[in-house]
Amino acid sequence: MSTPPRVILITGASSGIGRTSAIAVSNAFPSTSNPEPLVLILSGRRESELKETASRCREGTVTEICVGDVSKDADVEKMFKTIKDKYGRLDVLFNNAGIDLLNSVPLEEADMDKFRQVLDVNVMAAVLCTQGAIKLMKDQSPQGGRIINNGSISASSPRPNSAAYTVSKHAILGLSRSTSLDGRKYLITCTQLDIGNAQTAMGGHAAKGSRQADGSMRPEPMMDVSNVGKTIVFLCALDPGADVLSMEVIARGMPYVGRG
């Protein structure tokens, strides 16, 4: 009997943390030597960038590009139908897609249309993908799987004038804890991965200067985004019987403990 493929879905895979994680996973679990063939599902809105991510994965890696907006019900349903019809299972979901449209904007000045957009992408996308993952994971054989949520340090410690992003990441914490509890009976685990100051296009602004609690602007230490990829590899490599409820990976020396 052939071994079923190990299927890993990464949202927001067109750049930054998503792209880095996809490349790292493909290098860590090459299909040619892994007894469980690896399939990487790469999700994002930009087809050309998803193809670029796929091209950077280890040669021979099986990649499936799913172009769409994961904050839209129809796009998520289509993606999970593809996964179910072609591969029949999902072993790991990395809910990584996210935006920050109101960086350093006081709440009283915030554009509410942009605020709602942040919540749609950062929260509803993760909710919809988690729902799709649970439906697959609870019925597949063997039952179960692992869900990883990109939470951010803002899930517990906000930056000044970042209400939209902070609210969205606090919501992800609630989703992670609910998924851990409700997924237990289906052998589904959920990890909240809080990342601080990884050098990406979205998060790299902190290196130039970030608003501090006292109102001043100061550059902050940054870490190479490859460290996030290594963390995702670690979580994907865990035995199904192991659970990591939460994890933080941050740049050494960045303001965090006591910030705000």
Neighbours of 99 (CB within 10 A): 18
Query: Residue 66: helix, strand or coil by DSSP?
Result: strand
Residue 46 carries which side chain, given as an amino acid letter? R
The edge-to-edge listing of strands for the beta sheet with 145-150 is: 62-67, 38-44, 6-10, 92-95, 145-150, 188-196, 246-250
- Give the span between the Cα atoms of 51 and 37, in whole angstroms: 20
Out of 87, 165, 186, 256, pick the active-site residue.
Answer: 165
Q: State the Cα torsion 205-169-244-190 to the nearest 10°.
A: -130
Distance CA 163, CA 105 (A): 8
Task: Decide if 165 is catalytic.
Answer: yes
Asked whether the beta carbons of 151 and 172 are under 8 A apart, the reply is: yes
How far apart are alpha carbons 244 and 164 in whole angstroms?
Answer: 27
Residue with tokens 């299927």: 7
Task: Look up tokens 């109101």; give the residue.
Answer: 102
Instruction: Provide the annotated active-site residues.
Output: 165
